[in-house]
Amino acid sequence: MPPRLFDRELLRRRLTRAAPGYGTADFLKRRAAEDAVMRLEAIMRNFPLAVDLAARNGVFRQALAGSDAQARVGHLIETDLSAGMLGDRPGLVADEERLPFAFAKLDLVVSTLALHWTNDVIGTLIQIRRALKPDGLFIGAFFGGATLTELRQSLMEAEMELTGGAGPRVSPFADANDAASLLQRAGFALPVADIDRVTVRYAHPIRLMADLRAMGETSILAERHPRPLTRSVLNRACEIYIQKFAEPDGRVPASFEIITLTGWTPDPSQQQPLKPGSAKMRLADALGTVETPLPRSEV
């Protein structure tokens, strides 16, 4: 059983709290949703039954509306961990760690900026693959390891300075270098991983923290820090943030790394890699160079 890193019930409560004002800070969610729609626009095939996991306020459906891909996506089921996020929209309250979908029923699954809160990402991806039909498509985006690096450094330095020790105040995120391997380990074919690095500028670090609260993206680590975050540590962290990272106009940057994965459930119709030794042209001929044999080593 994977370790329990995140408190999913706390996440549900945070999302429910954030739901009424989520639209004031949904710019990253919207960016990821619009990117997913752009990818669908380049795929000339139909997806009769699709699911948007962790739909939040429905920005994927909004991005899909009016796009070239809209006509190719049939019935879209929106799910969310929080009923408050779905509001009055038709949808399904569902936990990404325990998906309710039957085997091989879906044509498309999209998930934007939610899987970084799952305790077992591989397990969730396996559930998604099983719910997809053969040659079904998954598009997923989540935050990568460089996300909030400025805030992480500032909080750690402030706490070390004032208390003599520091613990995690910002949740860990996946390493971008390992992104594509997540799909491979979950059994997806033709995996692709892309990274979108976004810098958001704020008048003050407190405004960043307010946005994280409005997004429902504050830390939900299961192992709570032994000491609550005091006002003195927070104030000092803001001072360090400004000292270390402020730009010439006084505003401070906040880094976000959005990793987008695209993978297909295996199907015999998909392009397969060539067998070793089946090439019809030598590499030297293709490069227009002369092949020079290496000398045999003497043992």
- How many domains are contained in the chain? 1
In a domain, residue 271? The reply is yes
- What are the tens digits of pLDDT across the range 258-295? 999 999 999 898 876 556 555 565 655 655 666 666 55
The answer to whether the beta carbons of residues 263 and 39 sit under 8 Å apart is: no
pLDDT of residue 178: 79
Torsion-angle region of 162 (φ positive above 0: left; ψ -120 to 50: alpha; else: beta): alpha
In a domain, residue 115? The reply is yes
In a domain, residue 71? The reply is yes
The answer to whether the beta carbons of residues 225 and 167 sit under 8 Å apart is: yes
For residue 65, which of 40, 89, 83 has the smallest C-alpha distance? 40
pLDDT of residue 297: 46
CATH number, domain of 267, equals 3.40.50.150
Lowest mean pLDDT among 54-58, 64-68, 160-164: 160-164
In a domain, residue 3? The reply is no
**Rounded-to-integer distance, Cα 168 and Cα 184, Å:** 30
In a domain, residue 22? The reply is yes
The residue written with tokens 């067998």 in the block is: 275
Distances (CA, A) of 109 to 112, 131, 147, 168, 181: 10, 9, 24, 32, 19
Half-sphere exposure (Cβ direction) of 217: Cα atoms closer than 13 Å:
26
Give the residue-averaged pLDDT of 32-52.
97
Residue 216 has phi, psi (to 5 degrees) of 75, 25
In a domain, residue 111? The reply is yes
How many other C-beta atoms are found inside a 10 Å radius of the C-beta of residue 181?
13
**Rounded-to-integer distance, Cα 106 and Cα 51, Å:** 8
The residue written with tokens 């105040």 in the block is: 169
Domain region containing 195: 8-287
In a domain, residue 209? The reply is yes
